[in-house]
Amino acid sequence: MGAWLSSLLSACLIASSTVPAPTHDGVPEPADPAQEQVSVAQGAAILIESGGEVSACTVGYNDGAVSYTAAHCVPSVPSVPSGADSARVALWDPATGEMRSDWVGTIASAPGFAGRANDFATITWGPGIKAGPNDITGEARLDPGEVEAGETVCYAGSLSHPGGGATCGKAAGTINNTVYFAGETSHPGDSGGPVWVPGRGFLGVLSGYIMATEQAPAEERLNAAAAPEVGAPISPQRERELLESYLISMRTAPLFT
């Protein structure tokens, strides 16, 4: 039970992107080591390094001195302790492949992160880094339980929307602190990006997508967004039931036997 989904989650969950060709000690070198005051924008592209592995993701929400992204972006998950040995974060430009900063932050995945559950991580920025305003979503935050089925939900990723814009679809349902919604699925590097209800507020960070089969068309997939509040575990069975209900509501024959 749930094997159809468990085998896919490992692939679909990772909408982060592995960064190739590191240049020194397994990680890329900054273009300019000199550090100046840098503002981190909501939706900014980031690199995350841990244990010599590097992934690319997106800043989802700025909250005072910290920012949120997806926990599955952190190499060597499920957990990375905070402090001196945390995974580290840098800003980068996907268009040029150059780093916009040195390694200027640390990141720790949420307690209870497992699979889809609690797929968010907290970035703590170092000196010289300022978390900017949330210009994409606005500062207001919306509880996942307040989202109605059929309501418009949007996401923005640093790879899919480098010049601005968003991808939007309709809410399909909520499991604990995770919202599922239809629409074109994300691309590598988009993970952790902001997800919101237009005019209402920020919902969570982009957490990949679920689908019934690897060949499922776009209209039979659901994106997921994790609110940065620790919630209960999410079983593959509950995701299967939600996806099946969505497909039935779309008058699509269930894909399960």
Q: Choose the final residue of a domain: 131, 153, 174.
A: 131
Task: Specify if 184 maps to a domain.
Answer: yes
First to last CA, the chain: 11
Total of domains in the chain = 2
CA distance 50 to 33: 19
- Cα–Cα distance, 84 to 220 (Å, whole number): 43
Measured CA to CA, the distance from residue 65 to residue 50 in angstroms comes to 22
In a domain, residue 220? The reply is: yes
Domain of 54?
16-131
Residue 230 in tokens: 């620790």
pTM: 0.81
Longest dimension (CA), the chain: 59
Domain boundary among 70, 99, 131: 131
Q: Which of 82, 101, 131 is the last residue of a domain?
A: 131
Q: What is the pLDDT along the chain (257 residues), one digit of tens a residue?
A: 333 333 333 333 435 554 443 444 545 555 454 556 788 999 999 999 998 889 999 999 999 989 999 999 998 644 445 444 569 999 999 989 899 999 999 999 999 999 889 999 999 999 989 999 999 999 999 999 999 999 999 999 998 888 888 999 999 999 999 999 998 888 889 999 999 999 999 999 999 898 877 667 777 889 999 999 999 999 999 999 999 999 888 765 444 43
